[in-house]
């Protein structure tokens, strides 16, 4: 049993946010890089590629927001 349960809660919240932000960060980086490659190969399709990229980034960012919610719940409950 830990001597300080508050410290364990804070550690868990930090780990939840830290690990929960790695995936979206990597995903957004890959999405943007591949979108730039695609625009470089086919500049006429820029609008279509950019629209799909922004939509995919929004979905990836939502996962980071879920991690933030879990971290806040761990911290305050």
CATH code of the domain containing 9: 1.20.20.10
Q: Give the structural domain span for 21.
A: 5-76
Task: Assess whether pLDDT exceeds 70 at residue 1.
Answer: no
Is 68 in contact with 17 (CB distance < 8 Å)?
yes
| Count of structural domains, the chain | 1
**pTM here?**
0.80
Alpha helices (H) in the chain, listed in sequence order: 5-41, 46-76
- Mean pLDDT calculated for residue range 12-36: 94
Q: What angle do CA 21, 25, 30 make, to 5 degrees?
A: 155
pLDDT of residue 72: 94
For 33-69, the pLDDT digits (tens) are: 999 999 999 999 999 999 999 999 999 999 999 999 9
Residue 1 DSSP SS3: coil
Give the whole-angstrom CA distance, residue 33 versus residue 27.
10
């Amino acid at each position: 049993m830990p001597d300080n349960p508050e410290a364990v809660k804070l550690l868990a919240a930090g780990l939840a946010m830290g690990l929960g932000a790695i995936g979206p960060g990597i995903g957004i980086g890959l999405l943007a890089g591949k979108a730039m490659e695609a625009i470089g190969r086919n500049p006429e399709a820029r609008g279509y590629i950019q629209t799909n990229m922004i939509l995919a980034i929004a979905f990836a960012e939502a996962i980071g927001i879920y991690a933030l919610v879990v971290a806040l719940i761990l911290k305050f409950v």
